[in-house]
Amino acid sequence: MIVFYKQGNLPVLNILNKVNINSSVYFLSLLFLFVFFANKESISQEIIEVEYFINADPGFGNANQIDITPANNIQKQNFNIDISELGQGFHHLNIRAKDDTGLWSLTTVHSFYKDNIKELADIVKAEYFFNTDPGIGNGTEIPVSAEQNIEGVNFTADIIDLEIGFHDLYIRTKDENDLWSLTNVRSFYIDYFEETPADIVKAEYFINSDPGIGNGTEIPVSAEQNIEGVNFTADISDLEIGFHDLYIRTKDENDLWSLTNVRSFYIDYFEETPADIVKAEYFINSDPGIGNGTEIPVSAEQNIEGVNFTADISDFETGFYDLYIRTKDENGKWSLTNVRSFYIETIDQDKPDIVEAEYFINEDP
């Protein structure tokens, strides 16, 4: 996109687009947009001429002309540039425009690269190696069919001599012109597992501090390769109110311990028999202080639900408001304060009848 506008008395030309090059025919195709803005005090001039040159400036008015229709705004203008005589490498495309007062815009530049691409050769060989490069052509061969593009090739890499740990798999290909591709790499990890996993024979847990492997509190388990759905009761009698971490690990018959898993939990103490709720109150927007809200009639119960009450909103204007509610139990303890937002609007009871409807398309008549 090229935007052409006037800055003071000087036209300015900005190129905002990407340049696309078709190297097979050596033509550069450019889509651009010219927009010309004048000062607030003047009327927009027309763009009457656009020209381009590559690399060397032949002087204003002496470059290659781009066919345009004079206008204040020129949009989505396509043109082709013959780059067949240019050598391989970087080049600079320069564009500028002139208005009907004879003023030229600044010359803007867009760099591009020309490369001569040959027809793709078939890939005829592929090889892989691990970790250390044995030299091009000396890797382990991967069977492939000769094609320009090969994908979805499956092969089995021999990892029998690799030790436990991280390794790098490298792959490269060669085409029929004996040119090798870049070498691609993927990392992987090797670990060895027994064909028959050992039975889990012990499990233990601890809370917060690790007493050392084998020194946790035992969890009774049956010896199996896989144990799940094990229920146990953890002793939390000495823990204080707050957050804590429960850790669990297991040991197999070969005396190998698993990783230690952790779950966080929170302890709070509740009375065995909850106290009855004996009071409820509400207020709107501003808190008058605990116990000073408008009372909601309730019956003394441990759990109250489905309580209906009417809040007085007669003095409120149209708009958004917040309704707050809280309760108190027989021990004098107040609950958290709950809030619900609502909107007040005055509705006219006597709405007028709809007597006419019309439509239009695109432009409002």
| Amino acid 4: pLDDT | 35
| Amino acid 269: pLDDT | 74
Mean residue pLDDT across the chain? 84
| Amino acid 136: pLDDT | 95
137's tokens:
């052509």
pLDDT per residue, tens digit, the chain (365 aa), is 333 333 333 333 333 333 444 433 344 444 444 444 334 444 557 899 999 999 999 999 999 999 988 888 777 778 888 888 888 889 999 999 999 888 998 888 988 888 776 678 899 999 999 999 999 999 999 999 998 888 888 999 999 899 989 999 999 999 999 999 999 999 999 987 767 788 999 999 999 999 999 999 999 999 988 888 899 999 998 999 899 999 999 999 989 899 999 999 999 877 677 889 999 999 999 999 999 999 999 999 888 888 899 999 988 998 999 999 999 999 899 999 999 999 998 777 777 889 999 999 999 99
| Amino acid 52: pLDDT | 94
Distance of CA 301 to the CA centre of its chain: 50
Integer Cα distance of 32 and 52 in angstroms: 12
Integer Cα distance of 23 and 84 in angstroms: 9
Task: Give the contacts of 169 (CB within 8 A, at least 6 positions apart).
Answer: 128, 130, 157, 185, 186, 187, 188
How confident is the model over 300-326, as pLDDT tens digits? Answer: 988 888 889 999 998 899 899 999 999
| Amino acid 32: pLDDT | 46
Please tell me the pTM assigned to this model.
0.33
CA-nearest of 154, 152, 142, 144 to 124 is 144
